[in-house]
Amino acid sequence: MKQILILLLILTISIFSSAGTALPAKNDLPNIVLIVADDLGYGDLGCYGQKKISTPNIDRLASEGLLFTQYYAGTTVCAPSRSAMLTGQDTGHTPIRGNKSVQPEGQWPLPANSTTIAELLKRAGYTTGAFGKWGLGYIDTQGDPNHQGFDRFYGYNCQALAHNYYPDHLWENRHRVELNGNSGSKTGDYAPDLIHRQALAFMEDNKDKPFFLFYPTTLPHAELLVPEEEIESFRGRYNPEKAYEGARPGDDKYRLGPYSYQAEPHAAFAAMITILDRKVGELMKKLDELHIADNTLVIFTSDNGPHLEGGADPDYFDSNGPLRGYKRDLYEGGIRVPFIVRWRKTIAPGKRTSALAAAWDILPTLAALSGVHPPPDVQGHSLVSLLTGKGVLPSREYLYWEFHEGGGAKAIRKDRWKLVCRNVLDPTKTSYELYDLDNDLSEEHDVAATHPKELEKLKSLMARARIPAVDFAFE
């Protein structure tokens, strides 16, 4: 019997070795924390040049890891950007291409045949949790986070309701959690605090096994609203202030999407960035307290560029740094965002890289680290060789984005060249702009007329960089 068991063991090892699919031992799998800020601009952090707001915790994360200077979000608004991230597909291929609402609450659902990061990691033995804003399918639809690989979800299902920081309810898996502290015009339950506590508890509960924590916070998305004790120390420091005349108690749809009135938008925004930074610090502190920081891969990024909503003033804070454009633009300011990766003892600290990377690279990266194969239809590349210093990224043919609002837009980048196509939905108004990002980072000079060959190459590439999508505007 003993000889038979030994032979079976040798045969099993041989099969896995020849197939190249052996999973790492469960104890060797790194925990993964993926933090996604909402509408955080390229210039909103100290480590990316912010001067008016201090972000010591995120700056420390960068000093302990690798900071990317040419990382791109999935696209320039929430739902399709998150879809690109979670499926490993750019917006020419990912199933969600726009912020399309559905009734009674939420957005167009990810289809059942999507393969998400969470589903891949569950195959490798991870416990998975999402805490924050979902926006990819209402409860009990095929896009419900519990149907897309997450063992646990707590937060906002609907992006529109996530505009409000004192909502009347959140969701815990498929259970609606009423927030009585926010009934009427009360401000007893600040949603980012509730969600944060649940995320910390998830880490505590799963400290002895590999976990994937997806933390898509609503900060610093409008509305510009924080608890009174949070804004107090920022008052008078960011003058002149211009009040935002938003929704007030008694108004139609108050706390059902419209942004609230804010007398001091600058102070409120600074407070929101500070709260975000503190919460990142608390997540890192929890990893240290649980003695699992060294075996935890931490990723920090944003879903798109800075917004102009609810009284926000990105020019005052230089939120897009040297870049042109904001949220809803496919210029660099709308899609180039912070990206920081820390993995102690594996990623060399204090480094920067100008390697081109994008949101759809996260899925194949995490798949490689966990020993599972990504789906064959992803456009992303694994970043593991770059992160570990054992190689460089494989060359990629292009990066592609599309945006389905405001007449429609597309953009494509190949090496130094970037093509932006505007007014896609009206052929009589469609236009193309070509930029040389090596020499014109701010996209001030359209060189389409002087580089016709590059223009035609990128137009041809753009035409084949997408497949049709169901129920979105380009089709």
Per-domain boundaries in the chain: 27-396, 401-463
**What pLDDT, on a 0 to 100 scale, did the predictor assign at position 404?**
95
Asked if residue 12 has pLDDT above 70, the reply is no
User: What class, spelled out in words, does domain 401-463 have in CATH?
Assistant: alpha beta
Q: What are phi and psi of 367, to 5 degrees?
A: -60, -45
CA distances to 78, 218, 219, 400, 453 from 449, in Å: 34, 42, 41, 22, 10
Q: How far apart are CA 456 and CA 183, in angstroms?
A: 57
**What pLDDT, on a 0 to 100 scale, did the predictor assign at position 15?**
32
pLDDT, the chain, mean: 93
> Could you tell me the pLDDT band of residue 25, with boundaries at 50, 70 and 90?
low
Question: For the packed helices 191-205 and 265-289, what is the interaxial angle rounded to 10 degrees?
Answer: 10
DSSP collapsed to 3 states, the chain: CHHHHHHHHHHHHHHHHHHCCCCCCHHHCCEEEEEEECCCCCCCCHHHCCCCCCCHHHHHHHHCCEEECCEECCCCCHHHHHHHHHHCCCCCCCCCCCCCECCCCCECCCCCCCCCHHHHHHHCCCEEEEEEECCCCCCCCCCCHHHCCCCEEEEECCCCHHHCCCCCEEEECCEEEECHHHCCCCCCCCHHHHHHHHHHHHHHHCCCCCEEEEECCCCCCCCCCCCHHHHHHHCCCCCCCCCECCECCCCCCCCCCCCECECCHHHHHHHHHHHHHHHHHHHHHHHHHCCCHHHEEEEEEECCCCCCCCCCCHHHHCCCCCCCCCCCCCCHHHHECCEEEECCCCCCCCEEECCCEEHHHHHHHHHHHHCCCCCCCCCCCCCHHHHCCCCCCCCCCCEEEEECCCCCEEEEEECCEEEEEECCCCCCCCEEEEEECCCCCCCCCCCCCCCHHHHHHHHHHHHCCCCCCCCCCCC
**What pLDDT, on a 0 to 100 scale, did the predictor assign at position 255?**
94
With a pLDDT cut of 70, the percent of the chain lying above it is: 94
Q: How far apart are CA 318 and CA 313, in angstroms?
A: 9
Pair of tokens at residue 146? 């519990």
Residue recorded with tokens 């060399």 = 348
**What pLDDT, on a 0 to 100 scale, did the predictor assign at position 3?**
45
Pair of tokens at residue 192? 């980012």
215 Rama class: left (phi>0) / alpha (psi -120 to 50) / beta: beta
Q: What is the pTM of this model?
A: 0.94
Residues forming beta bridges with residue 128, ordered by sequence position: 212
When mean pLDDT is compared across 72-76, 270-274, 392-396, the lowest value belongs to 392-396
Asked if residue 258 has pLDDT above 90, the reply is yes
Query: What's the whole-number mean pLDDT along residues 373-378?
Result: 96
Q: How far apart are CA 446 and CA 432, in angstroms?
A: 9
**Domains 27-396 and 401-463 belong to one CATH topology:** no
> Could you tell me the pLDDT band of residue 27, with boundaries at 50, 70 and 90?
low
pLDDT in tens, 303-318: 999 999 999 999 999 9
> Could you tell me the pLDDT band of residue 473, with boundaries at 50, 70 and 90?
confident
Q: How far apart are CA 278 and CA 357, in angstroms?
A: 27
**What pLDDT, on a 0 to 100 scale, did the predictor assign at position 472?**
87
Residues forming beta bridges with residue 414, ordered by sequence position: 417
pLDDT in tens, 156-181: 999 999 999 999 999 999 999 999 99
Contacts of 31 (CB under 8 A, 6+ apart): 210, 211, 212, 213, 287, 292, 295, 296, 297
Asked if residue 446 has pLDDT above 90, the reply is yes
pLDDT in tens, 110-161: 999 999 999 999 999 999 999 999 999 999 999 999 999 999 999 999 999 9
**What pLDDT, on a 0 to 100 scale, did the predictor assign at position 288?**
98
Asked if residue 215 has pLDDT above 60, the reply is yes
Contact status, residue 342 vs residue 333, Cβ threshold 8 Å: no
Residue recorded with tokens 């609503």 = 218
- CATH superfamily to which 27-396 belongs: Alkaline Phosphatase, subunit A (3.40.720.10)
Asked if residue 443 has pLDDT above 80, the reply is yes
> Could you tell me the pLDDT band of residue 182, with boundaries at 50, 70 and 90?
very high
